[in-house]
Amino acid sequence: MNNKLIKNSQVFKAFCDENRLQILKLLQSGEKCACVLLEKLSIGQSTLSHHMKILVQSGVVVPRNEGKWTYYSISEQGAQAAKDLLDKLTIVKPGKSGKSGKSGKQGKSTCK
């Protein structure tokens, strides 16, 4: 239960850091090698590795290994999953719309 909420929050952490957004922006033009990303990001190599791990764990980015290089790209499937989750988290269920609780007027000494 609670675990699910924590897992969901993990997905969005991918988008909660300036450098990770920058990385995503770079990946929007196609797959990139880690070393290419490193060139453009004024952060250290270990820090990049850390951010890529978070992006991959969120499912939004997928790695591809080729020899000694690792290429990263945006997973359209993972991105869609994030969008679906966002929908799920923000959809307002029908029925209980508009003002709070029941529709009748209540006293001034209760918030219900």
Q: Which does 101 bind (CB under 5 to 8 A by kind): DNA, a second copy, none?
A: a second copy
Nearest residue (CB) to DNA, 13 versus 83: 13
Question: Cα–Cα distance between 75 and 105 in angstroms, integer?
Answer: 50
Measured CA to CA in angstroms, residue 59 lies from 1, 42, 79 at distances of: 21, 24, 7
Query: Between residues 50 and 79, which has the closer beta carbon with respect to DNA?
Result: 50
Q: Is 68 in the site for DNA (CB under 7 A)?
A: yes
In whole angstroms, how close is the CB of 78 to a second copy at the nearest point? 8
Nearest to 49 by CA among 3, 78, 41: 41
Q: Does residue 39 contact residue 32 with C-beta atoms inside 8 Å? A: no
Residues that bind DNA (CB under 7 A): 13, 16-19, 33-35, 38, 42-54, 63, 67-70, 107-109, 111
